[in-house]
Structure 1
């Protein structure tokens, strides 16, 4: 199966962060309001780092995935080297967990923008999220041009309350690390080189990723 390289563009940001400023302050044991703006910014940065490391959205948010064309599938006749390509390919959404697809637009062979009828495709939510042509159909032909296809989709666990606790803790540990160390820190175990992630964050992300895909 061949899927063209895609580009992700945020469409609608999450309505809230996975942890509040008040929760972050409680974790930091900060009781004054002087650093509220800084702490709120650190929460956003920590959430974005977690999302980037896992290729996953935490709180639900809308994105656009643009492709140069629909994915194609390769078939080969038994006992023959002859291959053929068809537009039956599975489209993999590169940001998990996929919640829904709100629209698929494309530029047809004549250069006109079209919106694909939702009855023409099936959405498989979760991780990885998949979009496939409806039974008995195939993807429409598109004009050979960059960004001929745009998929508007929503990814994320839901509200902040729905985000796994392991990922919330990873966000809090990052906030704590950055709040205490305003510049690059040195790993005390090896004595040189900046710390990429504070101790425990990598383990939390790995544990959540393993459980998510198991």
Structure 2
């Protein structure tokens, strides 16, 4: 089960103005750095929790259908099922009708069931499922604890900017970060 981003978010959950106000930065010399730190903080949080903050499109690759027919979607919240494609032995794509499907996009993990999906001919990555995920298109759609976690994480990375460059971030996770994101982590046994 592999996920790939096929359409990046149109915006970050934090605006430059929010970050500068939080850090009490009044100059514009480090705007590019701050924008980069916001992106790093978002990507780190999404990796840690499996939650996609902003609306984006993902592609899930599967080798085969689950035996019980229910596909766990480990990235969410899932807004919509966009397309399902199965590849034949010769590599030709077959579009699977998604009219008769059940999608529980709000549960953790989200779950998808398709009626009579065809077996893939390719042994590896023979199934592609395109999904739209995220809380919405604006930072206001993202839950408050996650926004707060992003702000304190950006502040931590900004504080060590002279020691660790942007490509070496995140260098540290601030105190309180884990508590803020705990309710959004997917626990695994």
TM-score normalised by structure 1 residue count: 0.77
Q: Write the mapping of 1:27-38 to structure 2, written as runs, cut at 5 A.
A: 27-38=22-33
Corresponding residue for residue 132 of structure 1:
113
| Greater RCO (Cα-Cα under 8 Å, separation 6 or more) | 2
Structure 2: give runs of 5+ residues left out of the alignment: 165-170
Instruction: Say which of 181, 184, 187 aligns to 1:205.
Output: 181
Q: 1:108·1:140 contact (CA, 8 Å) conserved in 2? A: no
1:48 aligned to which of 43, 47, 62: 43
The corresponding residue for 2:63 is 68
Select the residue among 153, 160, 167 that pairs with 1:181. Answer: 160
Does the 8 Å contact 1:69/1:144 carry over to 2?
no
Matched, 1:115 2:95: yes
1:129: Cα distance to partner? 1.5
Instruction: Return the alpha-carbon distance in structure 2 between the equivalents of residues 64 and 29 of structure 1.
Output: 39
Q: 1:44 to 1:106 in 2, by over 3 A?
A: same
Whether the 8 Å CA contact 1:133–1:139 is kept in 2: the answer is yes
3-state SS of 1:119 partner: coil
* 1:152 aligns to 2:152 (yes or no): no
SS at match of 1:161: helix
The structure-2 alpha-carbon separation of the partners of 1:26 and 1:59, relative to structure 1 and needing over 3 Å to count, comes to: same
Task: State the number of aligned residues.
Answer: 177
- Kindly report the root-mean-square deviation, in angstroms, between the aligned alpha carbons of the 2 structures: 1.8
Query: 2: distance between equivalents of 1:52 and 1:202?
Result: 13
Deviation at 1:208?
4.1
Deviation at 1:196, TM superposition (A): 4.1
Ranges in structure 1 where 5+ consecutive residues have no aligned partner: 1-5, 74-88, 185-194
Q: Deviations over 1:95-152 (max 9, x none)?
A: 0111111000001467532111112422221132111023xxx322221421100001
Q: Distance in 1 between matches of 2:111 and 2:184?
A: 21
